[in-house]
Structure 1
Amino acid sequence: MTVTILAVHGNGGGGTRFERVAEHLPDESTRFEYFDLPGFNGTPIDPEATDVAAYADKVADVIESLRRPDEPVVVLGHGIGGSIALDLASRRPETMDGLILHAPVGADLDTRLFPRLMSTKPVREVLRRMVAARPLRPIWRKLFFPIGAPKEDTDTFFEGYRDCAAFGQMFEIIDVEWFEALAPVTELPVVLLWGEHDRVLKSGQTEGITAKTPNAEKVIEPGWDHFPMLEQPEEYARVISTLAADLVTNPSA
């Protein structure tokens, strides 16, 4: 059986952050796909996408275009991509066969410092420009990639912020009210995946996400920070392909 994994990227960049992962899939039993959400990586922003559900429905459209007979689809959402995937699973669980939420955004939005700092448009725009600024990249590399990633890949990552028209909007639509209104996902097998040393979205937030995924399996990967798809792509490919296969072969495990 072949399992399709559709990766939904986080904020600031696009699907290109998963390129190295695709190169390291263990065998032909996994088909790995990724794409750019509207307003990311230079793609035009959709003026009608004014809430998380609208972005989630875009993911549903991609799933539909990828569907093959008798081939399950597992959605992998990272960061705000996890938020969007969670929204889709909450409203339209029939669109997918399994869900991997890798450090999703949603828990503790009313108490965490960073979401509160990003509550105003000027602050969001300044940060986006700073992350994209080439002179500051040596600093950002140490902060974002403490384990280390190829310079070519990190340059692509930072350039993504320059071309991200939807960056600020994500902080507006992914909020406490959105998260609290989500119906719990109980009809799908779900894995909550976190890096043990994630400094962007700490693994302790799994408890908050569990309220919306009460039956989820929790997996904490030692040695991972927030971007293992760039720092440890071979290991990341192995872990997510194994998790996806387990979700569709042992959905009640």
Structure 2
Amino acid sequence: MTEPLLPRAMPRVVFLGGNGHATARLGPARRVLAELAGPGGTPPFALHDVPYPGFEGRPRAASLDAFLDAVAKSVRAETGTRDDAGRPLVYATGIGGLLALCLRARGELAGVPLLLQAPVLWGLERRLMPRVLRMRPAQAALRRAFVSPRFQARFARKHFRRPLDGEMRARFFEGYARCAALPDFFAWLTPALLRRLEADFRARPEALDHVAVWWGERDTVVPGRELAWTEAALGVSWPVRRIPAWGHYPMMDDPPGWVRALADAVENTAVEDAAVETASRLSEPGRPQAR
């Protein structure tokens, strides 16, 4: 008698958001996943949004190490065990890309595929805004700007590929208004941190393995040229996929396309894992080799 097949566990995508991130940014993608699953079905992957300290009204962390400890704990809950769903995929966008590399430098996410979408990395030290925003008057001015209807309208026209409905636009800018960690990021994420990361990765270059990059060709927030500065600083050359129709916020501009692209990435990871596992079994001592 044949045993019944057990249902396969759902693959996981762990999401590290950018500055001012709010859970609402992933709402359109979650609706697409629910539609793909249908009644009683299973979506192509589960989307886990990492809750950052100091975001969306949560208490701030006392230091960058404390911030990373909290993020690592949340990520570890999703990536710390292997099951029949295989390895999870960590997707990091904007400043989330730098946080992901900080975790790699600490020994976290070893062997976990890391997908960076328009990450803010070594371009950080060439930008004027981060330097200016380390001053408190500039931070106060930025907060006032993000609650200004005129600024919001101009920002949305420039950086989104399609108009946002009123509710989504309000939730997007509310993420910045409720981000108490905003000044912390400008204090912590500095050229001095980049120098420490360079030293860490020189000592452990394998921590930069299993990284791929996606970049929207219509991204008006983080220019694609910044990747070259990062690769030069770290001595790496990561595979890059440039997506013509995407801007900086594909999960909001094109939720179905973003979900499809991520589902393909998850499937490719599963195929690679299966190939590695098969090769490992075939190389076991005493196992007959295929001819």
TM-score tier after normalising by the smaller chain length:
0.7 to 0.9
Separation (CA, whole Å) in 2 of partners of 1:213 and 1:43: 37
- My pick for the range that moved more, 7-16 or 128-137, is 128-137
- My pick for the range that moved more, 65-74 or 85-94, is 65-74
1:61 maps to what in 2? 73
1:237 is displaced (CA, Å) by 1.3
Asked whether the 8 Å contact 2:134–2:183 carries over to 1, the reply is no
Cα-to-partner distance string for 1:148-198 (whole Å, 9 max, x where unaligned) = 333321110001111110012112211112123213353441111111121
Separation (CA, whole Å) in 2 of partners of 1:212 and 1:245: 29
Residue of 37, 46, 51 corresponding to 1:31? 46
- 235 and 122 in structure 1: CA distance in 2 versus 1, 3 angstrom threshold: same
CA RMSD of aligned residues (A): 2.5
- 151 and 186 in structure 1: CA distance in 2 versus 1, 3 angstrom threshold: farther
- 19 and 240 in structure 1: CA distance in 2 versus 1, 3 angstrom threshold: same
Percent sequence identity over matched residues? 26
Residue of 225, 238, 248 corresponding to 1:204? 225
Asked whether the 8 Å contact 2:72–2:108 carries over to 1, the reply is no
1:119 maps to what in 2? 134
Give 2:96's aligned amino acid. Answer: G
Asked whether the 8 Å contact 2:158–2:220 carries over to 1, the reply is no
Separation (CA, whole Å) in 2 of partners of 1:127 and 1:44: 21
Secondary structure of 2:246's partner?
A: coil
Separation (CA, whole Å) in 2 of partners of 1:10 and 1:42: 16
> What runs of 5+ residues in structure 2 fail to find an aligned partner?
1-7, 38-42, 277-291
> What runs of 5+ residues in structure 1 fail to find an aligned partner?
none
Cα-to-partner distance string for 1:53-72 (whole Å, 9 max, x where unaligned) = 43333222112323554132
Asked whether the 8 Å contact 1:79–1:102 carries over to 2, the reply is yes
Give the number of equivalent residue pairs. 250
1:13 maps to what in 2? 21
Separation (CA, whole Å) in 1 of partners of 2:163 and 2:234: 33
Residue of 217, 233, 245 corresponding to 1:223? 245
- 22 and 213 in structure 1: CA distance in 2 versus 1, 3 angstrom threshold: farther
Secondary structure of 1:147's partner?
A: coil
Normalising by structure 1, we get a TM-score of: 0.87
Asked whether the 8 Å contact 1:199–1:226 carries over to 2, the reply is yes
Larger helix share, 1 or 2: 2
Normalising by structure 2, we get a TM-score of: 0.76
Secondary structure of 2:52's partner?
A: coil
